[in-house]
C-alpha cells in the first residue's frame, strides 16, 4: 500500500494531474481516493416527479464522484486569466494560458472534437456594453456541454483506469506526515506515498480546513459571492449568447458603487439545485445536443463579499443566507422580477400564468426576505442595465431563483509550485482557494504533475 503519488479527489484537478503524471512517467505508482461514486453510478434522485427536492444523500451525486463538481456541469472551459481563479499569480499569466490551452487539446482528443470555441476578441458587443455602463471581460470559451463533457470524462476514465488505482466511495479522513512522505488514512486502512496531491474542491472545504489545522498550514479567508439565478426566454439574450455563448459582464452600481457580475451563462439551459455540505443553492447548465435544449437561458448575477476583521467567515455569512432561503422555501425560492419590484411574493398561480416556464421546480416566494437589501438593490440595478443591451431582461415574467451562493475555499498558503510548507504536499483546484473553474482547476493539476514528474 505504498504509492509514489496519492491524489485525493477525482474532480478535474485530480483527473488532469493523474493524466499528466501517467503521460510523463508510466512507471509511477499512483492512487486516487474519491469520496463519491464512479461516473456511471452518479445519479441524482431528483426526477421532478417522485422526488422534487434535494433529499440530502450521503454523498451528493452532483458534487462528488469521478469528474467532481464538474461532471454534470455545462462543461464551459474558459481560457482566460480575467476570471475563474488566480492561478496566474502563482505560475505566471502565459504559463496559465498555455496550460488551459493544453487542457483544451486533451478535451478535444478525448471526445470534445467538433465543439465550439467562442471568443470575445473583436466583438462589437464590448462597445455596446461600455455605452451602457457594462464591462465585458475577455475570454475564449470552449463549450463542451453537459453531454459531451460526460463523454470526455468517460474516455479519460477509460484511459486512466489501467494506469491508476482508483478507490471510490473512500473519503480520506486524515493526511499525516510520515517521514519524508505522507500517510493517507481512510476508514478501512492507511496508505503511504512520497507525494500527495489534494484536490477536494468546494465540497471538501470543511475537510481541507482540518488538514490545514493538523499540518499547520496557514490559510486566509476568501470571499463569498451571493446572488440569484436569472431565467428568461433564450431570444432575449441571443444577441450575446449566439456570438459569445457565455459573457462575463461586470456592472458598477450607481447607488453603492458595488460590483455586480454575470456568471455561468447557459443558453437554452436548465436551472438546477446544488447541495454544498447540506445547504441547497441554485446553479445552471445546458446541453450541447440541440434535442435537449430548453426555451430558456439562465445565468447568475452575483455580488462578492469578503469579511476579514473582526468577522472572518465569509462562507459562514453566505451559508446563513442560503439557510434562510432553505428555511423559508424548503430549498430554492423562485420569484418573478415583476413581483420582486412590486414588493410582493410570487405564488404558484402567478408563476404558472407567466410567460417564462421555470426549468426548476422551486418554491414560489419572496427573495427580498432572504437576500440583504444592498445586494438585492445591486442585482435589480444590473437587471435594468442589462435590459438596455438585451431588451426584455427586466420583463415582469423574468424569473429569479435564490439563492445562488459561490463558496470559495479559504486560500491555502502555497508556493509557486502549489506546494504547501510541508514538502511533497500539494493543494490544487478549487480546494486550494486558488481556482474556481474547470479550466483553472485542470490546469493546476497539469502544472503540479509536471513539477512532480520532473522531481522524480
Ligand X SMILES: Cc1cc2nc3c(=O)[nH]c(=O)nc-3n(C[C@H](O)[C@H](O)[C@H](O)COP(=O)(O)OP(=O)(O)OC[C@H]3O[C@@H](n4cnc5c(N)ncnc54)[C@H](O)[C@@H]3O)c2cc1C
Considering only the stretches 4-12, 88-96, 299-307, 374-382, report the one whose residues sit in contact with ligand X under the rule CB under 6 A.
4-12
Indicate which single residue of 3, 110, 207, 245 sits in contact with ligand X (rule: CB under 6 A). Answer: 207
| 404 in contact with ligand X (CB under 6 A) | no
Measured CA to CA, the distance from residue 134 to residue 440 in angstroms comes to 25
| 65 in contact with ligand X (CB under 6 A) | yes
Helix-strand-coil split of the chain, %, nearest 5: 35, 25, 40
| 8 in contact with ligand X (CB under 6 A) | yes
Backbone angles phi, psi at 30, to 5 degrees: -125, 140
Indicate which single residue of 274, 339, 381, 404 sits in contact with ligand X (rule: CB under 6 A). Answer: 274
| 329 in contact with ligand X (CB under 6 A) | no
Q: Which residue is listed with cell 445536443?
A: 289
**Given the complex with ligand X, which of 200 and 380 has the nearer CB atom?**
200
| 261 in contact with ligand X (CB under 6 A) | no
**Given the complex with ligand X, which of 314 and 409 has the nearer CB atom?**
409
CA 42, 44, 50, 56 torsion-angle sign: positive
Kindly state the number of chain residues that form the binding site for ligand X, as judged by CB under 6 A.
44
| 409 in contact with ligand X (CB under 6 A) | no
Using alpha carbons only, how large is the chain's radius of gyration in Å?
A: 21
| 441 in contact with ligand X (CB under 6 A) | yes
Are residues 438 and 77 in contact, defined by beta-carbon separation less than 8 angstroms?
yes
Query: What size, in residues, is the chain?
Result: 456
Considering only the stretches 31-39, 95-103, 123-131, 318-326, report the one whose residues sit in contact with ligand X under the rule CB under 6 A.
31-39
Are residues 456 and 27 in contact, defined by beta-carbon separation less than 8 angstroms?
no
- Spatial CB neighbours of 316, under 8 Å, sequence gap ≥ 6: none
Q: Where are the beta strands (DSSP E) in 253-295?
A: 259-266, 270-276, 279-285
| 269 in contact with ligand X (CB under 6 A) | no
**Given the complex with ligand X, which of 11 and 364 has the nearer CB atom?**
11
What residues are paired with 228 via a beta bridge? 301
**Given the complex with ligand X, which of 153 and 333 has the nearer CB atom?**
153
Q: Which residue is listed with cell 398561480?
A: 349
Indicate which single residue of 4, 11, 175, 287 sits in contact with ligand X (rule: CB under 6 A). Answer: 11
**Given the complex with ligand X, which of 168 and 251 has the nearer CB atom?**
168
Indicate which single residue of 5, 6, 7, 10 sits in contact with ligand X (rule: CB under 6 A). Answer: 10
Measured CA to CA, the distance from residue 126 to residue 142 in angstroms comes to 19
Measured CA to CA, the distance from residue 147 to residue 145 in angstroms comes to 5
**Given the complex with ligand X, which of 182 and 337 has the nearer CB atom?**
182
Backbone angles phi, psi at 75, to 5 degrees: 60, 45
Interface contacts to ligand X, rule CB under 6 A: 8-14, 33-36, 64-65, 68-70, 73-76, 78, 84, 171-172, 199-204, 207, 264, 272, 274, 283, 285, 429-431, 436-439, 441
Amino acid at each position: 500500500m505504498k504509492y509514489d503519488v496519492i491524489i485525493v479527489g477525482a474532480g478535474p484537478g485530480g483527473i488532469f494531474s493523474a493524466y499528466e503524471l501517467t503521460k510523463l512517467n508510466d512507471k509511477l505508482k499512483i492512487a486516487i481516493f474519491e469520496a463519491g461514486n464512479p461516473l456511471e453510478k452518479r445519479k441524482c434522485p431528483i426526477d421532478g416527479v417522485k422526488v422534487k427536492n434535494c433529499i440530502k444523500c450521503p454523498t451528493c451525486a452532483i458534487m462528488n464522484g469521478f469528474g467532481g463538481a464538474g461532471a454534470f456541469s455545462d462543461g464551459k472551459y474558459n481560457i482566460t486569466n480575467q476570471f475563474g481563479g488566480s492561478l496566474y499569480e502563482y505560475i505566471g499569466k502565459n504559463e496559465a494560458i498555455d496550460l488551459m490551452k493544453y487542457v483544451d487539446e486533451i478535451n478535444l482528443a478525448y471526445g470534445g472534437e467538433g465543439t465550439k470555441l467562442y471568443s470575445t476578441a473583436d466583438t462589437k458587443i464590448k462597445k455596446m456594453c461600455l455605452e451602457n455602463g457594462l464591462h465585458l471581460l475577455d475570454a475564449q470559451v470552449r463549450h463542451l456541454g453537459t453531454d459531451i463533457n460526460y463523454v470526455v470524462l468517460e474516455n479519460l476514465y477509460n484511459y486512466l483506469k489501467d494506469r491508476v488505482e482508483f478507490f471510490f466511495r473512500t473519503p480520506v479522513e486524515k493526511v499525516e506526515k510520515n517521514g519524508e512522505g505522507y500517510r493517507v488514512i481512510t476508514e478501512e486502512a492507511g496508505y503511504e506515498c512520497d507525494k500527495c496531491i489534494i484536490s477536494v474542491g468546494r465540497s471538501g472545504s470543511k475537510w481541507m480546513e482540518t488538514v490545514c489545522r493538523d499540518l499547520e498550514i496557514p490559510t486566509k479567508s476568501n470571499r463569498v459571492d451571493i446572488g440569484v439565478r436569472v431565467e428568461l426566454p433564450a431570444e432575449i439574450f441571443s444577441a450575446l449568447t449566439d456570438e459569445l455563448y457565455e459573457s462575463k459582464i461586470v456592472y458598477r452600481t450607481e447607488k453603492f458603487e458595488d460590483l455586480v457580475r454575470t456568471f455561468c451563462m447557459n443558453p437554452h439551459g436548465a436551472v438546477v439545485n446544488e447541495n454544498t455540505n447540506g445547504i441547497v443553492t441554485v446553479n445552471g447548465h445546458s446541453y450541447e445536443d440541440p434535442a435537449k435544449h430548453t426555451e430558456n437561458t439562465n445565468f447568475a448575477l452575483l455580488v462578492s463579499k469578503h469579511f476579514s476583521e473582526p468577522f472572518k467567515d465569509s462562507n459562514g455569512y453566505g451559508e446563513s443566507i442560503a439557510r434562510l432561503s432553505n428555511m423559508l422555501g424548503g430549498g430554492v425560492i423562485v420569484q418573478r422580477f415583476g413581483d420582486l419590484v412590486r414588493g410582493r411574493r410570487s405564488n404558484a398561480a402567478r408563476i404558472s400564468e407567466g410567460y417564462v416556464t421555470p426549468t426548476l421546480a422551486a418554491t414560489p416566494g419572496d427573495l427580498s426576505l432572504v437576500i440583504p437589501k444592498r445586494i438585492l438593490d445591486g442585482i435589480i440595478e444590473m437587471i435594468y442595465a442589462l435590459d438596455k443591451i438585451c431588451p426584455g431582461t427586466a420583463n415582469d415574467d423574468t424569473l429569479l431563483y435564490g439563492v445562488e451562493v459561490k463558496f470559495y475555499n479559504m486560500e491555502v498558503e502555497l508556493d509557486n509550485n502549489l506546494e504547501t510548507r510541508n514538502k511533497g504536499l500539494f493543494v490544487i483546484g478549487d480546494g486550494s482557494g486558488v481556482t474556481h473553474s474547470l479550466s483553472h482547476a485542470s490546469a493546476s493539476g497539469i502544472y503540479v504533475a509536471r513539477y512532480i514528474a520532473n522531481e522524480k
